[in-house]
Structure 1
Amino acid sequence: MTHIHFESGREYDAIVLGRAGVDLYAMEHNTDIQDVSGFNKFVGGSAANIAVAVSKLGGQVGFIGCVSNDTFGDYVTSYMQSQGINLDGMKIDDSGSRTSVAFTEIKPSDCDVLIYRNNASDLLIKPEEVDPEYIAKAKTLVVTGTALAQSPSREATLLAMQHARRAKTQVILDIDYRPYSWRNDVDASVYYGLAASLSDVVIGNREEFDMMETVVAPNNSDDNLTAARFLTGNTQIVIIKAGELGSKVYCADGSRFEQGIFKVDAKKPFGSGDSFAGAVIWTLTHGGELTEAVKRGSAAAAINVSGTSCTEAMPTKEQLFDFMESAGSRYTK
């Protein structure tokens, strides 16, 4: 089984790069958005979610991103700091950009999400604002792929990954593909391919890997072929998530395994992937084995979808371990 080596003595277990925004969740469950009476406010965005997930489990976390110089930007930074996340890499934009906002229904499926990302602040972080010394303080740099969608964030992200490789900071790419951010899948596959080539670990679902194979294998749906395609160069681990079907894990040494799920009463479909990634990252950076990390990731995902937010529904270490001990018949291999 492939073992990822993390440099010891680093200040941060992980520095996460990407989107931090505001989530407004419907107050009423199983209700269409036009019929809800109001919304509850939380911090969200894939990168912020992962950062909170790792921090709540007990990890030391930093963040690279950008928010607007307004009350929503202040809210995001204040919350993340309250969660113990270092924001030395967070930039505040004064150009009139806006921190992204998502309005969401709370339904277990067919859940409508409206995301406002016109002139989004998180896509304005510049390459010259990325500090290589900050990245060198971390065991791993976690990149969420939405940061690749536009310049200058795209160049800043790729540069951060290059800084990480030079500093022997492991690189984890969470694909986090949002089609509305891209002209088409061809464009996306080019830049995701570059990012994957700079990554030690690549995590995504089947649809996201389909996008990455748009040009090279447009009709492939074989996970084994997909993994073989991306387990080249720097990449040591590929994790392909399949929702209720669990996940498949492939390693550069030829080993592989499948991970089941923990069945729960899901209240919403989103947040699980970020919770999964957070538990995997925390476990690996604290010396855990890959099989253990992915099983914890599956449990953390189950806990999150049974909650009514993303960041606030991330489990603590105690909650995660208690859930796994009591899971019993809920666990399916």
Structure 2
Amino acid sequence: MTRVFCIGELLIDFVAENQGSNLSKATNFTKKAGGAPANVACAIAKLGGKSSFIGCVGKDAFGSFLLDVLKNEGVDISMAQRSKTFTTLAFVSIAEDGERDFVFDRGADEELKYDPSIKSEFKKNILHFGAATALLGGSLEKAYGHYLFDGLCNESFIAFDPNYRSDLWTDDEATFIKKCLPFVEKSHLCKFSLEEALLLSGKENVEEACAFLHDIGADIITVTLGKDGTFVSTNNIKHTVPSIVVSPVDTTGAGDAFIGCLLFQIAALSNFETIFNDSATLLKMVEKANKAGAITTTKFGAIVALPDLNQLEEA
């Protein structure tokens, strides 16, 4: 099976459980492991795939906790780095419908240094760029660009999820869009929320947004629509794949579970070209990925809620 390299942040989610969506009123928080690329790496490993995490945490108790979580889930952490800067934190409040309110306290994740010695590992493997913080500057952003180039030079399958967080880009959405588009241009697979697809394209509906993003360069586009499923767009198909009905308690990590499950299935293919040429196979993969995302919303926290293969098959 092909290996998936997930590049970006690993952080502590302090979750205010069952206290509404307003962080200003939250008083009790529970420590959880999080960070979109780390969630994706764990989603793949829990399903039985091969994943590696490339990111930076602090040389502190939180950093040790996070790396232990990934290691225990079966993720390769040999390429992870550690910094004297404190581990990145996120404070998350959950509303009754499972939606979230975020505040970030950024730390060590931005200090990931580019390591040219690992680029040979990318040969004909999968690189997933899905960090919420990667385009905010620091050496992480520089490493992100270098690794994209390395992946392209090594015939890697490139996946991109911008993971837009409005509080990280207040009054600067134009910069976010400008920095995302080169990744859209070079990606074989892009995963967006509806908000992200409309923001990056400047269009008013999902079909027009996908047409614009295809023109930029994206080959396959998936737009997650929450309980309504996922819109899949390629040169050959435009189709909404329904999800399963669940009672959500926390939507944190649902998108990461979706793309993780989709990449797990792509990694199992003998030839990446299959999903470009076989629409039926792609739609079946998205259907299974929708289940993974839905299951993840039924528990608090991201990594602890990710399904294994048995849970996925039973759904």
TM-score, structure 1 as length reference: 0.84
Retained in 2: the 8 A contact 1:66–1:122? yes
Structure 1 unaligned blocks of 5 or more: 1-8, 324-333
Q: Distance in 1 between matches of 2:30 and 2:94?
A: 11
1:140 matched to 2:122: no
Identify the range of structure 1 (256-265 vs 287-296) with the bigger mean alpha-carbon deviation: 287-296
- Determine the structure 2 residue equivalent to 1:64: 54
Q: Give the aligned residue type for 1:139.
A: N
Which residue matches 1:104? 92
What aligned pairs does 1:144-293 form with structure 2 within 5 A after superposition? Answer: 144-146=130-132, 147-182=134-169, 184-213=172-201, 218=202, 220-232=203-215, 235-252=218-235, 254-287=236-269, 289-293=281-285
Is the 1:106–1:308 Cα contact (8 Å) retained in structure 2? no
Equivalent position of 1:90 in the other structure: 80
From the two aligned structures, give the one with the greater helix fraction: 2
Q: Is contact 2:53-2:77 (8 Å) kept?
A: yes
- The answer to whether the 8 A contact 1:104-1:111 is kept is no
Residues 200 and 268 (structure 1), Cα distance of their counterparts in 2 relative to 1, 3 Å cut: same
Compute the RMSD of aligned alpha carbons.
Answer: 2.3
Deviation at 1:79, TM superposition (A): 1.1
Return the alpha-carbon distance in structure 1 between the equivalents of residues 163 and 21 of structure 2: 26
- The AA in structure 2 aligned to 1:189 is I
Shift of residue 29, structure 1, vs aligned partner = 6.1
Amino acid in structure 2 at the alignment position of 1:197:
E
**Residue 20 of structure 1 corresponds to which residue in structure 2?**
10
Measured at CA, do residues 294 and 112 of structure 1 come closer, stay the same or move farther in structure 2, by a change above 3 Å? closer
Distance 2:41 2:56 in 1: 14
Code of the aligned partner of 2:212 = R
Q: CA deviation at 1:111?
A: 4.7
Letter in 1 for 2:240: E
Structure 2: unaligned runs, 5 residues or longer:
270-274, 276-280
Change (3 A) 1:112 1:175: closer
Q: Are the equivalent residues in 2 in contact too, given 1:188–1:211 (CA < 8 A)?
A: no
Pair 1:184–1:35, CA change in 2 (3 A): closer
Superposition deviation, residue 84 in structure 1: 1.1
Question: What is the identity percentage for the equivalent residue pairs of Structure 1 and Structure 2?
Answer: 20
What displacement does 1:130 show? 7.0
User: Whole-Å Cα distance in 2 between the matches of residues 130 and 270 of structure 1?
Assistant: 34
Give 3-state SS (helix, strand or coil) of 2:183's partner: helix
Aligned equivalents of 1:276, 1:156: Cα separation in 2: 25
* CA deviation string 1:17-69 (max 9, x = no partner): 11111122235565965776633322101111111111101101101111111
